[in-house]
Amino acid sequence: MKVVVAEYSGVCFGVRRALDLLEESVEKSTENGAKVVMLGPLIHNPRVVEGYSRKGVDVTDIENVPSIGVVVVRSHGVTQQVEDALYKNKDLKVVDTTCPYVKRIHQLVEKKSSQGVAIVVMGDESHSEVEGITSRIKGPYLVISPDLTHECVNRLKTFLKNHERIFVVAQTTSRPASYDKLIAKIKKIVPDRKKVDVSQTICTATLKRQDSARELSSRVDAMIVVGGKNSSNTSKLYQVVSSSNKKSFWVEKIEDFSHEDIAKLKNLSIVGITAGASTPDDQILEMKTFLESLS
């Protein structure tokens, strides 16, 4: 079996930066004895989070953050209210690993909404990144699901007709095709383009990973997507590859394969691997080595 890893896959700049900052905090804690905690899982990769748990780094929520020590804010960001609460405690060191791409959206929506512009956010309303974005909006806003159901479109029409100026952003891990579809729908409802301002907020790493995975999936017998089942960007990757290759698998670890899955894989000539932005290189290599051992 030949195993090919997508050209763009695995840990992105934002996640690598977050992991580096966390590791630096853990190293310093061994010297000064300060307790380090993560405010929510640093990244959506259970194996990475469990690894740091074994090092004594607990995952906590805002109600249980220690009064003294180090709190690491996750790469998806937090709400404005949570951020304000953290910085009120002068005895607590805050290490903010929020991805710069997410920070940019925070700044954009805060500025635009302060100018009286209504905001449309495409994304998962319950996702921590979207919660952080909407908490910084100073006026009316609407969160729209990427699937654009009939109910969503009706809500969108009502919202757009009730506001003179609109600013549109997307969750960083969104699929470009879904964002394009939303923008086209908005421009159809509001023909006057002067009233609608659209910002390209999908992460460039996300775009490269999806394009690379799509290309690879079209020329292999099967695709393996490696990443946390709670990871938004990994979910989007799986949607991309499974739409063009019916033999697609989404796993966090080797043990997730069933005996039937392995039997199917053994009979294939070429298998592709892609991985979410929260999947470290060692987990990709582990998967590649395992697949090669099947031949």
Active site residues per annotation: 129
Q: Cα–Cα distance between 295 and 293 in angstroms, integer?
A: 6
Query: DSSP per residue over the chain, as a string?
Result: -EEEE-SS-S--HHHHHHHHHHHHHHHHHHHH---EEEES-SSS-HHHHHHHHHTT-EEE-GGG--SSEEEEEPTT---HHHHHHHHH-TTEEEEE---HHHHHHHHHHHHHHHTT-EEEEES-TTSHHHHHHHTT--S-EEEE-TT--HHHHHHHHHHHHT-S-EEEEE-TT--HHHHHHHHHHHHHH---GGGEEE---S-HHHHHHHHHHHHHHTTSSEEEEES-TT-HHHHHHHHHHHHH-SSEEEESSGGGS-HHHHHHHHT-SEEEEEE-TT--HHHHHHHHHHHHHT-
Q: Residue 197: phi, psi to the nearest 5?
A: -120, 125
Cβ-based neighbours of 24, under 8 Å, separated by 6 or more: none
Cβ-based neighbours of 158, under 8 Å, separated by 6 or more: none
